[in-house]
Each structure stands twice: as C-alpha cells, then as structure tokens.
Amino acid sequence: MHPFSISRADDPVKAIAAHARDGELAFIAGGTDLLGLMKDRAALPERLLDINGLPGMARIEPRADGGVRIGALARMSDVAVHPQVRQRFPVIAEGLLFAASGQLRNMASMGGNIMQRTRCAYFRDEDGVPCNKRRPGSGCSALQGINRNHAIFGWSEACVATHPSDVAVALAALDANVIVRGMSGERSIPFAQFHRLPGDEPQRDNILRRGDLIVAIDVPARLEGRASHYLKVRDRQSYEFALVSAAAALALDGRRIGSARLAMGGVAHRPWRLGAAEAALRGMSLDDADSLRAAVAQSFADAKPLAHNAFKIELAQRVALRALQVAGARA
Amino acid sequence: MDDPKKPTRRAFLQLAGRSAAAGIAIGAAPTVAEARSPASPGTDRRATRVAVNLIVNGERRALLVEPRTTLLDALREELALTGTKKGCDRGECGACTVHVEGRRIVSCMALAVMQDGKRVTTIEGVQRDGQLHALQSAFIEHDGFQCGFCTSGQIMSGVAMIEEAKAGWPSAATSDVVRRFTLADLGSAEIRERMSGNLCRCACYPNIVDAVAQAAKRS
C-alpha cells in the first residue's frame, strides 16, 4: 500500500468537519473494502480517519413499533445474528449471511457495506485499463469487453457495473432510510435515492457529499417484514458475489398477496426495485405460479442485455419468483 | 539431527529480512526519537512509525509500525510469529485468519494501528500448557492437510466458528434463520458454509470438515 497517515476520531462533529475540508481524507471503519481498493490503487487517500471510536454508532436498536435502527458501525455478523432482526426482517439476516465470509462479516461495518464499490474486474484492475468509474473520461472496458457479470438495467455507455452489496438489496426492498450527518446537520435519505445510476458520472456511486457521515440505517416497521426472503444465485455455492439475487417481502391475506416488495441485486448500478411487478402482484394467489411469473415479467420489459449477460434476464425472473414463493411460505 | 552451526531456512530469512529493513531505515524512515516527536515541516508524516500496543497470545507487545502495516505483517515481520500465513493479501483465502477480541478476522485486511490495546490470538497461542487444541489434534487425526499452508488459518477459523455456532449464530446453510441455532444443527453442510472463507489448494476439504465436526462434538 502507498504510505498514508491515520488518526482516530472521537467526536462526530470534528470528524465531519475534517472530511469536509480535506479531500484527501477517507473514513475507515471495518476497512474490508477500503484496504482492498488501496491495495489495488483504486483509492489513494493521504489520510485515514478511524471512526470506530465514535460513540453509540455500533448499536442495534429494535424499536417498540416493530422497526429497527442499525448503527453504521454495527458489524455484519452482529446484525445478521440479532434475534429481533432475524424475527422481524429475515430478509436482512439472510442478505448478510449470504455475503462474504465469516471472517469478513466479523469485520465489515453496515455503513461500509452500502458504500462498497463495484467488483467490476476492469475497475479493480491495477494496469490502467480504461474505466470511467476509476479514471473519469477514460472509457468503459466492460461495455465491449467481458460483461457476463454486468448490468441489464439502468446502465449507460459510460458504465455497465453492478452494485455488489447483498444486504443493500434487502434494505431497498424494505424502503429503509440511511441516516446521514453532514455539515448542515442530520438528514434521512430514502434507500431508493441513496445509490445512483451511472449516467455520465459513474465515479459517483451514491449521493453523499464531502463531510457526510452515515450514522445509522433505519428500517421502519413493515407489514411485509416477517414473510421475507433473500435468494442469491452465484457461480459458487458460498463466498461469491451474486450473478443475480432477489429480496422479496410479502403481506398476505390467507394465500393472497396484500402487498409485495421486490428488489434485485446483480442487475444494476444500484439495488433494482421491481415496481411494476409489485403492483401486478397485489391480489394474486401465491399458489398461481403462472400469474406470479407474468407479474414479475412486467418489470423486465425494459431490460437491456450486454453481449455476455442475456442469461440474467431469464435467471432474474426465476429467482424473483422463487424468492416470492419462499417468502410466502414464511407467513 | 539439525546441525546447530548450520542456519535454518527460517533464521536465514529473518536475518536477511532484518538487514533489508535496516537498509531502508538508514535511508528514509525516521528514527524512533523522530517518530515520537511532532513532525517537522518537510517530513513525510505518512511514513512516520506509530506506537501500537497489542496483547498477543496473552503477552503485552509494544510495536512501532507504519500506519500502512497490516496486522498480518506486524505479526510476521515485527513479532516473528510466522504461523500466520500470507496467501492472497486481499481477504479472499483465509490463510491469515487470527482472532481479535475472540473473533475470527482476516489479518491482511486489518491495519495494525487500528488494533491498539486489543487481544490478538494466533495459531501459536491456541495450545494450552503444551497440549494441542482439540481442533489441532482433530486435524492430525483426520489428515486435514497436505502442504499445510492454509492449516493455521483453517484452525483459527474453525476454533472461532465452533464458538459462533455454540452462541447460536445461524449461517447461509441454516434452513430457517428465524429459529434458534444449536450446536446439534452443525452438520457437514453447515461446516462447509461456515468455513468457506478458508481455501485449501490441496483440496483437503472433506477431511477438514470431519476434523471440525469432531472438535465441535467434543467441545
């Protein structure tokens, strides 16, 4: 790694001010993504600010109303095994347990998880291949290159990368809020607005600005929380990023779907919500697989495959359908 | 019998490593005294060594490391605890697994300076009073290794993983994450999933799974 200096933050106000005025400073929590980026020279901060000592930010707080507030410094393991998280939102626990390895889950923070950068091999490459995310304006090697793992929704000529997080897909389905403290105080960002599509600025993964610190992820109480499931399909059975994944959550009236929440991973630059499918699923019977399949298909009319990933369009619909059925069995 | 006058491979490499490090120290790195004083203008503060205190295998160890030194490099290069191995150096292979505050982590993706004051356990610290840990014995009994390079990481991972299972942690192989997990649920599918962060190029996986299962049963 390149040489850098490091200091420890004990006061969020000072940490935020330091980040706002110093463009060469990066916050570090678990470090499992940042240190990898630094080893691959995809991030070269001059200064690191260790935020692990900031008070109260590792707490997991189940609320009386059925929601849960997850501190940004809570580790993936602690959230995944928390009894109330598992009972209220199985989709969150599964999203975490299907990610990374036991060691990495013990290290990685929740705030860092949703800040992860893409695993696109061209972005991670050390040899200076064109990548607009890494070197804006240099071009996208994946667009005409090997793009089996890349996006089928929402991509641009500038970038076809996907977001790697699993739990972010669950949080998107549940319409969680990202609680951010910045120079002008605290704000709550709806999860759907947190990550960006690449457009012509793929170097920007999300809407955060300098001086923004994620303090928590707030998951409101949801009728659909309990009957929920995260299904991930990948090239290996364990310890691999998703080819496609689905987070499904259902409120049921007997065997009929009262309301559905459905989001997918591995298909876009951000967790991809299937709004049209959710609307079509309302009122359907869980036992009518043909209708469920047709409802899911409504969200795939605008899918645009690349040279090597057309298989994702069929695979994603099957994964979404299966996730709905397993979630339904949990009611 | 080893010839006492003949240097071992490890001692030779340590000597060579220290000479190389000393060469760098004369050239660029600040001395200990400089490192402790505030940086003067023109000094590259990024390369300044900083003090770290670790409790390694129960012993307090004071170190002076660059901020970029990983816990793995600090253990191997500064403390000569070479049981912990460097495989990929990207958090992917698990060969560098150690415990920090009782939890398994990959030491290649942790900065030494960020572990200040923490308890670190390495493979050198899992035996008790000269007795191998139950999982070490099980690896021997079940022939859980060939070349041995991944073994210390496998064992450190396995020891902590059994504790996680005892504490009721579910995994991606658990059919119902809502239900409480017990050690009785720790079958081979569970062990394979929970140990997936440790790769073995010799593919001793079936024997590793058997060794972990036996140690879990006896724990």
Domains of chain A: 1-51 (3.30.43.10), 58-331 (3.30.465.10)
- A and B: number of Cβ contacts within 8 A: 110
For A50, name the nearest residue in chain B, comparing CA atoms only: B114
Q: Do A90 and A226 contact (CB within 8 A), yes or no? A: yes
**pLDDT value of residue B18:** 45
**pLDDT value of residue B22:** 40
Interface test with B, best of A103, A109, A119, A230 (most B CBs within 10 A): A103
A128: amino acid identity, one letter: G
Give every CB contact of residue A326 below 8 A, 6+ residues apart in sequence. Answer: A229, A231, A248
For residue A154, pLDDT over 60 is answered with yes
Tokens of A220: 């409101």
State the pTM of this model.
Answer: 0.92
Domain(s) labelled CATH 3.10.20.30 in chain B stretch across 48-124
**pLDDT value of residue B5:** 52
Record: contact B172-A107, CB cut-off 8 A = no
Record: contact B67-A239, CB cut-off 8 A = no
What is the least distance, in Å, from the CA of A232 to any CA of chain B?
Answer: 10
**pLDDT value of residue A126:** 85
What is the least distance, in Å, from the CA of B182 to any CA of chain A?
Answer: 13
Give, for all 219 residues of chain B, the pLDDT tens digit.
445 455 555 555 454 444 444 433 333 333 333 333 444 444 566 678 999 999 999 999 999 999 999 999 999 999 999 999 999 999 999 999 999 999 999 999 999 999 999 999 999 999 999 999 999 999 999 999 999 999 999 999 999 999 999 999 999 999 999 999 999 999 999 999 999 999 999 999 999 999 999 999 998
Angle formed at CA A314 by CA A313 and CA A315, multiple of 5 degrees: 95
Interface test with B, best of A101, A124, A240 (most B CBs within 10 A): A101
Beta bridge partners of residue B65, listed in sequence order: B50
What is the least distance, in Å, from the CA of A49 to any CA of chain B?
Answer: 10
A278: amino acid identity, one letter: E
Compute the mean pLDDT over every residue in chain A, rounded to the nearest whole number.
97
How many separate helices (H) and strands (E) can be counted in chain A? Answer: 14, 12
**pLDDT value of residue A97:** 98
Question: Which spans in A41-145 are helix H?
Answer: 76-80, 83-88, 90-97, 102-107, 110-115, 121-124, 141-144
Q: Do A34 and A113 contact (CB within 8 A), yes or no? A: no
Residues A85-142 have pLDDT tens digits of 999 999 999 999 999 999 999 999 999 999 999 999 999 998 889 999 999 999 999 9
Percent of chain A with pLDDT over 90: 99
Record: contact A5-B110, CB cut-off 8 A = no
Domain(s) labelled CATH 1.10.150.120 in chain B stretch across 134-218
Residues A265-303 have pLDDT tens digits of 999 999 999 999 999 999 999 999 999 999 999 999 999
Helix axes B151-166, B134-141, angle to 10 degrees: 120
What mean pLDDT do residues A226-234 have? 98
What is the least distance, in Å, from the CA of A212 to any CA of chain B?
Answer: 22
Beta bridge partners of residue A246, listed in sequence order: A231, A264
**pLDDT value of residue A88:** 98
**pLDDT value of residue B44:** 62
**Which of A4, A94, A107 is the closest to B67 by Cβ?**
A4
Q: What 3-state class would DSSP assign to B193?
A: helix
**pLDDT value of residue A202:** 98
Q: Do A214 and A179 contact (CB within 8 A), yes or no? A: yes
DSSP A185-239: EEEEEEHHHHBPP-TT-TT--BS--TT-EEEEEEE---TTSSEEEEEEE-SSSSS
Give every CB contact of residue B51 below 8 A, 6+ residues apart in sequence. Answer: B36, B62, B63, B64
Percent of chain A with pLDDT over 70: 100
What mean pLDDT do residues A252-259 have? 97
For B153, name the nearest residue in chain A, comparing CA atoms only: A103
Compute how many other C-beta atoms are within 10 angstroms of the C-beta atom of residue B49.
20
What is the CATH number assigned to the segment(s) B134-218?
Answer: 1.10.150.120
**Which of B113, B164, B198 is the closest to A6 by Cβ?**
B113
Show residues of chain A in contact with B107, CB under 8 Å. none
What is the least distance, in Å, from the CA of A233 to any CA of chain B?
Answer: 12
Beta bridge partners of residue A174, listed in sequence order: none
What is the CATH number assigned to the segment(s) B48-124?
Answer: 3.10.20.30
Q: Do A313 and A300 contact (CB within 8 A), yes or no? A: yes
Show residues of chain A in contact with B111, CB under 8 Å. 6, 28, 31, 35
Show residues of chain A in contact with B88, CB under 8 Å. none
DSSP A142-160: HHHS--TTS-SSS-BTTB-
